């Protein structure tokens, strides 16, 4: 179900709790909401729809991907950029990594590891920042 976008910076600044099996419907709501905003959004975290759980969804080179409890475990190639966010107004500066290795759980709660680079890596970093309560 498409959900309203959370814009309360106090709520968005909270660190998210780990996702559990009971949170799988939130992942579907995130996918539905991301699809509804596809013209201006490439990734979302659960707190963007008012749920303080470690769940992100993003456009992975044309196909949406869900990550539960994502953690960046390796990073390289720091750079500075500017980003915007559906939950926030304006464009803001951000520090990112060109390459990241992420440990996460898929929708069956199986642990997975994957390396991402470039634009996809930047999207994931932005969404993981949401999980950490970091606003760009």
Q: Which residues pair with 81 in a beta bridge?
A: 94
Give me the tens of pLDDT residue by residue for the chain, a chain 136 residues long: 999 999 999 999 999 999 999 999 999 999 999 999 999 899 999 999 999 999 999 999 999 999 999 999 999 999 999 999 989 888 999 999 999 999 999 999 999 999 999 999 999 999 999 999 998 7
* Residue 4 CA: distances (Å) to CA of 43, 46, 47, 50, 89: 15, 11, 11, 8, 16
Q: How far apart are CA 101 and CA 117, in angstroms?
A: 9
Active site residue 132: no
User: Which residue among 83, 107, 127, 132 is the active-site one?
Assistant: 127
């Amino acid at each position: 179900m498409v959900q309203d976008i959370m814009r309360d910076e106090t709520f968005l600044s909270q660190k998210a709790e780990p996702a559990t099996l009971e949170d799988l419907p939130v992942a579907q709501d995130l996918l539905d909401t991301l699809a509804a905003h596809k013209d201006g959004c490439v990734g979302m975290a659960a707190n963007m729809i008012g749920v303080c759980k470690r769940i992100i969804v993003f456009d992975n080179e044309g196909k949406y991907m869900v990550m539960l409890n994502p953690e960046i475990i390796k990073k390289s190639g720091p750079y500075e950029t500017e980003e915007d966010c559906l939950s926030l107004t304006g464009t803001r500066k951000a520090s990112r990594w060109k390459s990241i290795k992420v440990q996460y759980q898929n929708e069956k709660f199986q642990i997975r590891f994957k390396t991402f680079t470039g634009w996809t890596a930047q999207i994931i970093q932005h969404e993981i920042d949401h999980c950490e309560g970091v606003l760009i």
